[in-house]
A and B are shown apart, each in its own frame.
Chain A
Amino acid sequence: MSGISDTERMITLKTVEGTLFDVKSSIAKDLKTVQAFIDDSDDDVTSPIPLPNVFTRELSRILDYLNNHHRFRSGIEKADEEMARYDAEFAKSMSHEELKALILAANYLNVKDLLEFLNQTVADVIQNKSVEFVRNFFGIENDYTPEEEEKLRNENEWAFNGVEQD
C-alpha cells in the first residue's frame, strides 16, 4: 500500500455507459460491494472499477446522497433537520421508475443506509394504495383469473378495509 492516508485516496468507478466517477475512499466505504472488491484485491486499485449493473444516473444520485449525508454528519451542530429536508427532497425528485432503479443499484452496491431510506419511501408510497396502483408500480402482471382474485379478496376481507378503491 502506498503511503497516502485513506481519506485522501480516490477510487474511480465506471458505470455501464462508461462514465467515470472519482470517489473519495471515505465515501467508497459506504459502497460495501466496492469496498469488498478493494479489500479483496491484492494490489492497489488504480484502474477504474467497472460496475456492470449500475447506470450513470443511479451512481450519480447515490454519490450525491452519500456526499450530502457525510457533510451533515461531520458538521459541528447536529444537522438533523437539514438532513430530513434533504431526504424528503431527494425522494420527491424521482419518478417511481427512477426510485426502483435506484433501489436496485443501491442493493447491488450494498449501500445500507440509503437502501433503508429508499425502501421505507416505497413502503410509504404504496401503503393504502389500490392493488392496480401497486401492480403498476412494481410492473407486475396479474395472472389471477377474476374468480381467483375475487375469492382471495373475500378470504382476506379485513385486509382490504380502508384502502383506495381501484
Chain B
Amino acid sequence: MIEGFDQCNSMLCWEDEAEMPKVEFQESGPALKKAKKTILAAENVDTYEVAESQDRLGDLPDCLIHHILSFMETKDAIRTCVLSKRWRYIWASVPCLNFSSKSFNRLVDFKKFVLWVLSHRDDSQVKVLIYYRFGVDYATDQYLLNKVIEYATYHGVEEIRINLRAKTSGSPPVEIPLPLFTCQSLKRLELKDCNPTNVSSPVGCKSLETLHLEHFSMYPAAADFMNPFSSLAELFGFTTLTTLHLNSFTLCYTGIDCLNPFATCVNLKNLHLGEMSFKSDLNPKDFVISAPKLKNLSLMCNRFKCKIVVAAPTLTNFSYLYSTSCAFFEFSLPSLDGLVIDIHEPRDQLEKSIRRKREETLHGLINMIRGHCKSEAVKLSFCTVAVTCGTAVFLKPEFYSCSKLKSLNFGVGSTYKIFISNLDNITAYFRDCSQHADFEILTI
C-alpha cells in the first residue's frame, strides 16, 4: 500500500457548498458559534426527533457518495445510474478511475468499457487512477494504456497504480507513456508486473513523492550496469522521493565496487527493499544504503549475497526479515541514539545453515553496538533471533569492549516465549560490556 493515499478527501464537502442539500453540515466555525447562542429548550426535542428521522433516511450529499463510490471499481460505480434520476450522472464525477480487467469476461470488452468511460465522464479531476489489466498473452495493450494515462494526466491525477501481469509470462514489456513523466500533479506511483522498455526518457518525473515498484525490471540492453538504479533515478526523479518501495526486483550489475544507489535520494524518509536479487548472482562488493534523511528502513527477504551496509545518518527505525545465507548487514552510523531495531524471522527455522546465518546477523548487530561507544540508549527488539543470541555471544569473547551504553531496552515479542530463559544470559552479557555502574536493563 502506498502511504498517504487519500482517495476522496471528505474535505471536498466543505468546498462544495453549492451542491449541499439544506439538511447538511455548514461551515464549522459559524455554525457552532451560532449554536452556542441558541438554547435547546426541552420542547424543541420533539421537532428534532422528526427532523432526525428525515435526515437519517434522506440522501447522503454528493461528496459522501463520491467517497463511497471511489472504493469500488468504476464498473460498479456506474451501476448507480439506474437508482434514480438524481443518481444518473453522479458516477461521472467520482474523482477515481478504477479499471480491473478481471471483472470482464473478455479483454476486448474491457477495452471497450475503458474507452467508453473516458469519453462519457465529465471534466472533473481524477485524483486516483487504478489500471489493472491481467493479460493472457505476452504483450499488453499499449494503445489502451496510452489513452488511460493521457486522460488521467490531463485531469490532474495525483496517484496512479498500474498492474499489467500477464498469465503466461509474468511481466510484459511496456512503454511507459510520456505524459506520465511530464505530469506535474502526480505524487504517488505504483507499477507492478511490467518491464518498461524506455530505460531513458527525454523527461523524468519531477514531483513524485512515493514510488512503489514490484516485479519490475529494466531491459538490460540499455541499462547502465554499473549502477542499475541510474535509470530509475532518471525516470522517476530520485531527488523528490520521500518513500520508495522496491519489491521482487532483479538487477544487473557488472561492476566490482560498492553500490550506493540511494545517495541522491536527498528527501527519502522511508525505504523498503524486498526480495531483491542480482541477475546471475553478480553482486557488488557491498550494497550501501546512505540516503541522508532516511528514517525508516526495512529489508525483507532479499536475495543478495553481499554485505548490506546501512550508513543512513538519521535512521530511527530498522526492520529486518530473513535474507539468504551469505548476506548480512552492518551498520555504519554516527550514533545509535533512539534507533529501534526490529528483527523477525519466520517460525520454522531450525536447520543448521539457517542457524549459521542468524549468527551472522547477530554479529552484525554486535559489531554495531561495539562500534558505537558514544550511544547512550539503544532499543533492540528481538523475536526468535534472541534464541541464538545467547549462544553466539559466548563464542566471541573479544566483543567485551568499552561501551558507554547506559540503557538497553529489550522489546520481547509476546508470541515467542522460548527465549525468555536466555534473557538472563543476554542481559548479563550486555551488563558486562558496559562500564557504567548504573547500567540499566529494561525488559518490556
Contacts and interface: CB of A to CB of B under 8 A. Distances in A.
Interface of A: 14, 16-18, 32-34, 36-37, 40, 47, 49-53, 55, 76-77, 97, 100-101, 103-104, 107-108, 110, 112, 115-116, 119-120, 122-124, 126-128, 131, 134-135, 138-144, 149, 152-153, 156, 158-163
Q: 6 tightest CB-CB pairs across the interface, nearest first?
A: A123-B71, A139-B57, A33-B28, A108-B25, A37-B32, A50-B35
Given A55-B52, A107-B13, A112-B10, A40 B29 contact: yes
Looking at chain B's contact residues, the main secondary structure is helix
Contact of A142 (B25, B31, B80, B83): B83
24 contacts: A16-B45, A17-B48, A32-B28, A33-B25, A36-B28, A37-B29, A37-B33, A40-B33, A52-B35, A77-B411, A97-B57, A100-B56, A110-B10, A116-B7, A122-B68, A123-B71, A127-B72, A135-B83, A138-B60, A138-B83, A139-B58, A141-B84, A142-B84, A159-B79
A75 to B, nearest CB: 11
Contacts of B57: 97, 139
A101 B76 contact: no
Contact of B81 (A33, A103, A156, A161): A156
Interface string B59-71: 1110010011101
Contacts of B56: 97, 100-101, 104
Interface string B408-440: 000101100000000000000000000000000
Given A49-B36, A101-B56, 14 more contacts: A16-B45, A16-B48, A18-B45, A40-B33, A55-B52, A77-B411, A101-B55, A103-B64, A104-B55, A108-B24, A110-B11, A119-B67, A135-B84, A144-B82
B69 to A, nearest CB: 7
A17 B45 contact: yes
Interface residues of B, number: 55
B225 interface: no
Contacts, number: 135
Nearest to B64: A107
A32 B25 CA distance: 13
Interface of B: 7, 9-11, 13, 24-25, 28-29, 31-33, 35-36, 38, 40, 45, 48, 52, 55-61, 64, 67-69, 71-72, 75-76, 78-88, 103-105, 109, 112-113, 411, 413-414, 444
